[in-house]
Amino acid sequence: MSRNRVLGVKNLNVRYQTQKGPVHAVNDVSFDVFQDEVFGIAGESGCGKSTLIRALMRLLPETAVVTANEITLAGLNLETTPEKSFREEVLWSKMSLVPQSAMNSLNPVYRVGQQIVESIQAHSSKTNAEARERTKELFNIVGLQPDLMETTPMSSREGCDNGQ
């Protein structure tokens, strides 16, 4: 049985240009992720995990220089994909980032569901009703009750603090 490679990274390097010279943040990282495989990256704080992921997603500041022998996603060469195509066809639709402090990524005063609906609509042509339905599906996939769509991150956080 052949394994289907979803992500391939070969010899990825990231350095930041500073006034004192280059700072090497990621050095010579290589890995493959295959379909139906659980893959994780672990390491000490400050070792370059976030920089690695942000490099793959082109979310680093202009002072960063990224080089690699290969970066492919489902057979697409990400190194040669033009910026506009990458933003329109890859970022957030084929490749996304869930930050470590995900609760801090949501606006604490707006309903969780509406924030997800707006994100879906920003990256697709779905109507509000279609985006709400997709949000319900996503909540179901991750084991959340659809009624949580109507809560705010602040009220969800308070519920956790009270042991509920």
**What six digits make up the tokens of 146?**
């659809």
More confident site: 132 or 107: 132
CA distance 144 to 44: 31
Give the closest residue to 115 by CA, choosing from 160, 147, 150.
150
Name the 3-class secondary structure at 67. Answer: strand
The reply to whether the predicted model has a pTM over 0.75 is: no
Task: State percent of the chain over pLDDT 90.
Answer: 47
pLDDT digits (tens, 9 = 90+) for 1-57: 568 999 999 999 999 999 999 999 999 999 999 998 988 898 898 899 989 999 999
pLDDT band at 96 (very low <50, low <70, confident <90, very high): confident
Contact 114, 104 (CB under 8 A): no
How do the domains of the chain map onto residue ranges? 5-81, 102-161
CA distance 151 to 156: 6
Q: What is the pLDDT of residue 119?
A: 84
Q: Specify the residue for token string 């603090």.
A: 161
